[in-house]
Homo-oligomer: A and B are copies of this chain.
Amino acid sequence: MPLTIFSNDISTEKQSLSLTETDMPTCGDDDLVVKVHAIGLNPVDYKAARGGLLGTSGISFGWDCSGTVTQAGSNVKDFSVGDAVLFSGDVKRGGCAAEYVAVDARLVAKKPTELSFTEAASFPLVSVTAYEAIAEQMAVTEKSAPSSTLLVINGGGGVGSAAVQLAKHHFGIGTVIATAGRAVTKEWCQRNGADHVLDHHQPLGPQLEALKVQPNLVLCTVDLDGYYDQIVEFISPSGKIVSITLGDSSKIDVGKLFFPKRLTLAIELMFTKPYFGENIASQGEMLRTIASLFATKKLQSIVTVTKSGLTVDNLNEGLDALQAGKMHGKFVVNVIEE
């Protein structure tokens, strides 16, 4: 019987995790069953494991994975048993902090041989989030990219790191600015391709003025409520604000989007498509594009911490680091030693 890590009683202040034997996951007609090699952790995981996302006890979590196909459903054409793959999956289904997991094959890409399983598990969720934010919610096109200026708030985090790299090295956005709080994350953002790095402990408007740049696109990867009033002041007219999390939404006054700037506020949430079963294949396609960018070194590894073994301690260490907001890049747990 394979092992899965579950969240436990979320009514206690700090939930305990448990490593439990479970049945093998069922392989639907459109599914793959995958033997998990590595898991990348994301803020969604501490929210799920510690009660802040789905609000239920005893759920499995972990939605970033690399592994090997052990079973393929009858409708699946593009994958065979033995294929090395990567994906982030579907928040409605069990997560990947487990030895085996089932996933809709349309959400999956093959792992390029140039990438380790560790690296392959580090980028699906954050890269698809950043890709969708830029290509879909900001509607950046080949034509509009060169004249665009993108500000990524918290450029050192998982989504921020992916966004800075994709913006600069794939979408060709003219000016990419990141914010960071520490020397290590400032350097990290520069290494990822940021043209300028702002100190996010200081007001951003004056720093942008000093640089004489005005973003028309802002990707906020931390709670928007803390930045919204600044953003609507410094963003260009007709600008687009995309956020992946809001904080206290009552502090966000949509009136400030209106006269005179005609702004746009969009949410990016990569789980929407799998949740509703809409346009699912687009996420597999994005992952193939992103994987090939890593394979050809256009994008570089965003892994900063690696742990070995599917253990409660390893998972908790990663969740703690994410919850404390002190991570830059990605925390990966190898279920199978590389």
| Chain A interface residues (CB < 8 Å from chain B) | 136-137, 139, 236-238, 245-246, 249-250, 252-255, 257-269, 271-273, 275-276, 278-279
Contact = CB atoms under 8 A, between A and B. Distances in A.
Contact of A275 (B237, B272, B278): B237
A237 B136 CA distance: 13
A261 B276 CA distance: 9
A237 to B, nearest CB: 4
Given A249-B253, A254-B246, A237 B267 contact: no
B260 A272 contact: yes
A265 B262 contact: no
A272 B267 contact: no
A272 B238 CA distance: 7
A245 B255 CA distance: 9
A253 B267 CA distance: 13
Given A258-B246, A275-B237, A278-B237, A263 B266 contact: yes
Nearest to A242: B264
B262 A254 contact: no
B267 A267 contact: no
A262 B269 contact: yes
14 contacts: A137-B262, A237-B273, A237-B275, A237-B276, A238-B279, A245-B258, A254-B254, A259-B269, A261-B267, A262-B268, A263-B266, A263-B267, A264-B265, A266-B266
Contacts of A266: 257, 262-266
Given A238-B272, A262-B272, 20 more contacts: A237-B273, A238-B273, A238-B278, A246-B258, A249-B253, A249-B258, A250-B253, A252-B254, A254-B254, A257-B266, A258-B267, A260-B275, A261-B272, A262-B266, A262-B268, A263-B266, A263-B267, A264-B264, A264-B266, A265-B266
Contacts of A136: 238
A258 B246 CA distance: 8
Contacts of A238: 136, 272-273, 278-279
B137 A237 contact: no
A195 B279 CA distance: 25
A267 B275 contact: no
Nearest to A138: B139
Nearest to A228: B254
